Amino acid sequence: MIKKKIGVLFGGCSPEYNVSLESAYSVITNINKEKYDIILIGITKEGDWFKFEEDLENIKNDSWLQKGKCTKVVISSSKSDKGIIEIDNNNTNLIRLDAIFPILHGKNGEDGTVQGLIELSGIPLIGCNLLSSSLCMDKYLSHKLVQSYGIKVANSILINNKTKDIYKEIKKLNFPLFVKPVRAGSSFGITKIESETEIEQAIKEALKYDTEIIIEENIDGIEIGCAILGNDDLIVGELDEIELSNGFFNYTEKYTLKTSQIHVPARIDKEIAQKAKETAKQIYKILKCKDFARVDMFLTPNNEIYFNEINTIPGFTSHSRYPNMMKQIGMSFEELVDKLISLEV
């Protein structure tokens, strides 16, 4: 059997670089080596691309660039090439790929930039395309689009450096509020505020990650997530539920669970759970997602479902939410990775 060549992107010019290394390590170690040849492509924090060879542990501990064999590469924009060009001492070598699997998170990885580059090359892309990725990354636009289909979202306002009177705009909303960068992941730059006195500092924090900010009302209730896999025939994982003892599910909580717990399945009525799954599937289709994504929602005490956000490349470590939701329906990590690749090759 001729093995298919799969390019796996890891790292990235993004605040979520380290998260990507962990996710990519888990995916790479669970790819069926009997079916696929893996071409590892690391992207540094500065945005340089290298083909990486040697010990996978160097990816996990972020020593891949210093300790591994690294050769500069670029994606060929020529669709007849369908591959990457290796550049070594002024010599070039074309490596054809059957698909590229970007395991990147946040800016420059999940926002459509890399997806557009891959689409331009003609190489099959595992995951959401340029349009879907950029839509889902934009918290304000994705909310407005989903809301137009009758799905509830939190009341919010959009501000930027051209907004003249922020305090006047905020009076349209009720505290507590969340101040968020419009395009960032892993809860970077998000602050929960209880009064106007906290607004200025919260905006400064959000502006570290984006030029536009969404300020939205808090939704009372619990946060639930839904893992979705596929295109026409969707596979839906079990819902999970985030139990918080304090604050909100920020970056620290997402990756340490110091004061929170994740329950799979979510501790909610089966009928409500089914309704949430159907809503998640609808959101997935509205935002034109492809191959896989995780849809996050809020469930109020009155069992109203609110759309929160969608992750087009959710965390993929062995303890991440997406694979654990799929595990609950009998799909192992290895099977999950294999299924994702098979959607495109």
Please write the tens of the pLDDT for every residue from 204-263. Answer: 999 998 999 999 999 999 999 999 999 999 999 999 999 876 555 544 544 445 657 899
Which of 287, 221, 225, 227 minimizes the C-alpha distance to 254? 225
Q: Residue-wise over 319-338: b if at least 16 C-beta within 10 A, else e?
A: ebbbbbbbbeeebebeebbb
pLDDT(161) > 90: no
Name which of 7-16, 45-54, 108-117, 160-169 the model is least confident about: 160-169
pLDDT score recorded for residue 49: 98
pLDDT score recorded for residue 250: 46
Specify the pairing of strand 222-230 against strand 240-244: antiparallel
- Read off the pTM: 0.93
pLDDT in tens, 265-316: 999 999 999 999 999 999 999 999 999 999 999 999 999 999 999 999 999 9
Q: CATH number of 135-153+219-342: 3.30.470.20, 1.10.8.60, 3.30.1330.60, 3.40.50.300? A: 3.30.470.20
- Using an 8 Å Cβ cutoff, are 129 and 312 in contact? no
pLDDT score recorded for residue 215: 96
CA 303 to chain centre: 26
* pLDDT cut 70: percent of the chain above it: 95
pLDDT in tens, 76-120: 999 999 999 999 988 999 999 999 999 999 889 999 999 999 999
Mean pLDDT of the chain: 93
pLDDT(9) > 90: yes
Hey, which residues does 40 pair with through a beta bridge?
Answer: 8, 52
In CATH, the number for domain 4-126 is: 3.40.50.20
Domain map (residue ranges) of the chain: 4-126, 135-153+219-342, 156-217
Confidence of residue 150 (pLDDT cuts 50, 70, 90): very high
Hey, which residues does 7 pair with through a beta bridge?
Answer: 39, 100
The string of DSSP codes covering 16-82 is: THHHHHHHHHHHHHTS-TTTEEEEEEEE-TT--EEEEES-THHHHTT-HHHHSEEEEEEE---TTT-
Please state the rounded mean pLDDT for residues 188-192. Answer: 90
Confidence of residue 158 (pLDDT cuts 50, 70, 90): very high
Q: Which two tokens stand for residue 335?
A: 């099977």
156-217 CATH fold: Dna Ligase; domain 1 (3.30.1490)
